[in-house]
Amino acid sequence: MLPEGVLINGLTGEVSPGTGKYTKRLSELREIFQDQTELDRLVEVEGDPVVYEVIEYRKEGSDLFFGTTTMEPGKVSGEFFMTRGHFHQRRDMGEVYYTQSGHGVLLLESRKGETKVVRMDPGVCAFIPPDWAHRSINVGSEKLVFVWVCNVDAGHDYGDILKHGMRKIVVDRDGKDTIMNNPHYSL
Amino acid sequence: MLPEGVLINGLTGEVSPGTGKYTKRLSELREIFQDQTELDRLVEVEGDPVVYEVIEYRKEGSDLFFGTTTMEPGKVSGEFFMTRGHFHQRRDMGEVYYTQSGHGVLLLESRKGETKVVRMDPGVCAFIPPDWAHRSINVGSEKLVFVWVCNVDAGHDYGDILKHGMRKIVVDRDGKDTIMNNPHYSL
C-alpha cells in the first residue's frame, strides 16, 4: 500500500485513478420517489436516465477511503433526483461530504427521528455525525458533485430508508426547492 | 452532535465554523531546517513569520474530523517552508489531503524507510496510508491550502521526525523544486 495522488475533477466527478464505480439509473430508484407512474413514463421516454454515479478510491488495509458522487439534475413530478439514502452499518461511524460544484440538499435523519437539512453548495463540507441517515438531492440545474470521505468499515444500511422512506421530501414548488413532510412516510 | 455545513475557503483556508486552530511560526520550527543561522536571521529581520496555520472542525463523539492547513510561501537558504512532519500514533490510521490552491510537495516516509513524493496541486487528493510519516512543503509562490480528513483517534507522533529528520529535503535549485537526500539525516 503506497501513497498516491488522486486527481479529482470537481466539475465531472472523475477520479484518476479510481478503484471502482457504480451507476444508479432511474428504474433502480423506483421505490424512493412519490410518483411511480410518472417515473415509469420517464424511464420509458428518456431511456432510463442515469441519476447518479459513485466513483471510489479504496486500498486494502487503509482505514479511510474516499470518492465522488455525481448527481444529474432532474425531477419526477417535481421531486428532485436523489440518492437512495442510508444509515451506516457501523453506528459509531460518520462521514464527510465536501461539495465541489452544483447545488444540493443533504437530508439527514437521526435514529431517533430528528431531521436536519444541510445546503450543499460549492465549498461546503458537510459533517455527517455517526448514526444519521443521509440522502443527497440535486436541486440545481447542473451536475451536483461532491467528495466524500469515510471509514472503510462504515458499511451501508439501505433497508430502513427503503422500507419507511425518509420523513421529509424535497420538491420544486414554483421554481423553489421546498422541504415537505413525506406523505408516504410509514414507521 | 448535529449535522452541520462547514464553509471552507480554498484560497484562504478559512473554516466557518471552526472549532480550533493553531499557528506555527518560523522560530518554532528551528530544528527541522538545514540552515539554522539563516533561520535565526529571518526570525529577527522578518518578525518571526507564520509558516502555517491549521484550523479544525471536530465534534466530540464523531469518528472523523477535518480541517485545513494553510502554508505560506517562503524559504530558508533555499529550503522551502514545511510542516513539522509526523507519524500517527495509531499505526492503523491514515489520512486524506485534498489540495485546494497553491503548489506543494507531500513528502512521505514509511516506517521501513521507503520514501515517496506526491505533488500537491489543486484537485489532487493525496492518499496517505497508515504508518507513513508525512510532511507538506509549499514549493510555490502563493499560499498552499489543503483540506485534510482523519480519524479523531489517529494522534500525532512528532518525535521520530524531530529526532532523525526525514530522509529527503526539498530545496530550490535554479528556480526548480528539487528533492535531495537530507545531509543531516541520522538513524
Task: Read off the CATH number of the domain in which A172 is found.
Answer: 2.60.120.10
Grid cell digits, residue B134: 508525512
Q: Which residues of B72-99 are buried (b: 16+ CB within 10 A; e: fewer)?
A: bbbbbeebbbbbbbbbbebeebbbbbbb
Q: Using the beta-carbon criterion (under 8 Å), do A66 and B96 form an inter-chain contact? A: yes
Is A147 within a domain?
A: yes
Alpha-carbon dihedral sign for residues A26, A8, A129, B96: positive
ipTM over 0.85: yes
CB B94 within 8 A of CB A63: yes
Cβ contact, residue pair B149, A149, below 8 Å: yes
Q: Is B23 part of a structural domain of the chain?
A: yes
pTM value? 0.97
Asked whether residue B187 carries a pLDDT value surpassing 90, the answer given is: no
What are B183's three cell numbers?
A: 545531509
Nearest of A14, A9, A185 to residue A107 by alpha carbon: A185
Picking from B30, B4, B34, the residue whose alpha carbon sits closest to that of residue B184 is B34
pLDDT beyond 90 at A12: yes
Q: Convert the pLDDT of each residue in B53-110 to its tens digit.
A: 999 999 999 999 999 999 999 999 999 999 999 999 999 999 999 999 999 999 999 9
pLDDT in tens, A155-177: 999 888 989 999 999 999 999 99
Residue B186 lies in a domain: no
Are β-strands A176-181 and B4-8 bridged in parallel, bridged antiparallel, or unpaired?
Answer: unpaired
CB atoms within 10 A of CB A163: 10
Interface check A130 vs B, CB under 8 A: yes
Least Cα separation, residue B15 to chain A (angstroms): 9
Residues of B in contact with A85 (CB under 8 A): none
Q: Chain B contact for A116, CB < 8 A?
A: yes
Residue-range definition of the domain harbouring residue A41: 7-181
Whether the predicted pLDDT of B51 surpasses 90: yes
Measure in Å the smallest separation between the Cα of B153 and chain A Cα atoms. Answer: 12
Domain count, chain B: 1
Does residue A2 lie in a domain region? no
Residue A186 belongs to a domain: no
Q: How far apart are CA B11 and CA B14, in angstroms?
A: 8
Strand order of the β-sheet with B176-181 is B75-76, B79-80, B168-173, B176-181
Q: Does B154 reside within a domain?
A: yes
Is residue B86 included in any domain, yes or no? yes
